[in-house]
Amino acid sequence: MKYVLIVGDGMADYPVPELDGKTPLQVARKPNMDAIASKGRSGLLRTVPDGMSSGSDTAILSVLGYKPEQLLVGRGALEAAARGIELKGNDVAFRCNIIAEENGILADYSAGHITTKEAVQLIASLKKAFEKPGEIEFFAGLDYRHFLVMRNLRDSSLIECNPPHDVTGAEIEEVLPKAKSEKVEDAVNQLRTIILESKNVLENHPINIARRKAGKRPGNMVWLWGGGEKPSMPTFREKFGLRAAVISAVDLVKGIGTYAGMQVVNVHGATGMYDTNFEGKANAALKALEANDFVFVHVEAPDEAGHERDSGKKIQAIEDLDKRLLGKLIKGLKEPYAIAVLPDHPTPITVGTHTRDPVPFAIRSPFWVADGVQKFDEVSAKAGGFGLVNNESLVGLLVSTGENATSEIHSVR
C-alpha cells in the first residue's frame, strides 16, 4: 500500500464576483481531484489552531499530524534546514532579507527581486563587517532570502520581529525587532544594530551602484525576522511507521520535511511559480514511491495567484496541478494506494492573503465506500462524510485507510 498527499498551497477560496460568485475550485476543470472526491470521502479540515497565524508552516505541520502550537518553530529555522544549515539546541536562525530602504522607509522586501548572484556578494560583505564566528554567522541562500544564525541565543519566542512583506511602506525605526523580556535585550540590540548599520556596508556597494545604473532598486539594507530554534519533533516514520518523501520548490516545506526525517527530493525546474515543472514533480513522486511508502507533493502556484488576486491564474494553476501533475501521477501508480488532496489554508482572491477558514479535503482509499460527494470544492466538501474535522492530522486519516494503520488514527466526527 502506498500513500500520496497532494497539497495545493492556498487553493481554497471565497466566492469571487467575476466568477459569478463561484470559487476558483468550483470553476476549474479538475477531473482527477473530482474523482478522488467522488470515489472517496470528503470533509472540511481546520488546519490553523486558535491564536496562531495562518502561515503555511503552521498549516502544513497540522496536516502532517504535528501540533504547531507545541513546536514553537520559527520560519528561519525551517528554511535554514532546507539550505543545509545545521542548528544546535540553543542556536536561533533568522531570515535575513536583502531589502531596499528609501528615506527611512522599508521600500521593498525583496530589493527589486535581487538575484542570487548579486545577493551572495552583498552577504559576503556583511559577513566581513558583522560576523563573529561561534556567535553571529551569515549564510547565503537564494534570491533575496538569506540567513543569520545567533549561536546559543535561545528564547527566540521572546523576540518580536516583523516580516518585511507585512511592513512594506513603514518607517524602519517603528518596525525594528523588539524584546518582550530583558533576557533577550542584548540580542535584540545586536539585531537592530546589524539592520541599521548594514546600510553603511551596502549603500555604495559596487553591486548596488550597478543596480541603480540599470534603473533597479538597490539591496541597501537587510531585514532580520522569523527567528527560531531547531524544532524537536518525532520523525514521520516514528509517528506513522512509514518511510516518507517530500517534493516541493519551497524551502519552508523542505525544511519541515527535513526535520520530519523525510527524503527531500529536488525536482529540476520546480520554481514555486506558475511555470513550475508539474510533470517533473509527478515523475519524481512515482520514483520516490519506489523506496518510500508515503509521498507528500506540494505545489505553491495557487497561493501566489491568491496573493496576486488573479482568479484566472488561480484557475490555471489548479487545472495544471490536476492534469499535468495529479493525472500523470495517478496513471503511473502501479500498487494499491490511498490518496488525499487539499489546500493548506485558503488564500482568497478577494482578500489577497491567507485566512484561517477550514479547508476542503478529499481522501480516496481502496477500502472505503464513497460518501456521495461528486466534486472537490469548498461547498461540496461541506456535505462530505467526515464533516468538520478540527486540527486533527489529515495524514492520520489517510494512513488509517490501509494496513499500516497505527495508534495515531483519530476517530472521525
DSSP for residue 272: S
Nearest distance from C-beta of residue 121 to Zn ion, angstroms? 29
Nearest residue to Zn ion, using CB?
303
- Nearer to Zn ion by Cβ, of 91 and 303: the residue is 303
Nearest distance from C-beta of residue 306 to Zn ion, angstroms? 7
Nearest distance from C-beta of residue 290 to Zn ion, angstroms? 32
- Nearer to Zn ion by Cβ, of 90 and 168: the residue is 168
Nearest distance from C-beta of residue 45 to Zn ion, angstroms? 18
Angstrom distance (rounded) from CA 387 to CA 42: 8
Separation in Å, CA 33 to CA 43, 55, 317: 14, 24, 13
Separation in Å, CA 61 to CA 12, 21, 231, 254: 18, 31, 12, 12
Angstrom distance (rounded) from CA 265 to CA 249: 10
Angstrom distance (rounded) from CA 227 to CA 96: 10
- Nearer to Zn ion by Cβ, of 348 and 402: the residue is 348
- Nearer to Zn ion by Cβ, of 303 and 357: the residue is 303
Question: Contact positions toward Zn ion, by CB under 5 A?
Answer: 303
DSSP notation for 89-132? TT-EEEEEEEEEEETTEEEETTTTT--HHHHHHHHHHHHHHH-B
Q: What pairs with residue 44 in β-bridges?
A: 360, 388
- Nearer to Zn ion by Cβ, of 229 and 303: the residue is 303
Nearest distance from C-beta of residue 333 to Zn ion, angstroms? 29
- Nearer to Zn ion by Cβ, of 303 and 322: the residue is 303
Nearest distance from C-beta of residue 56 to Zn ion, angstroms? 6
Nearest residue to 148 (alpha-carbon basis) of 132, 160, 164, 137: 137
Angstrom distance (rounded) from CA 167 to CA 187: 22
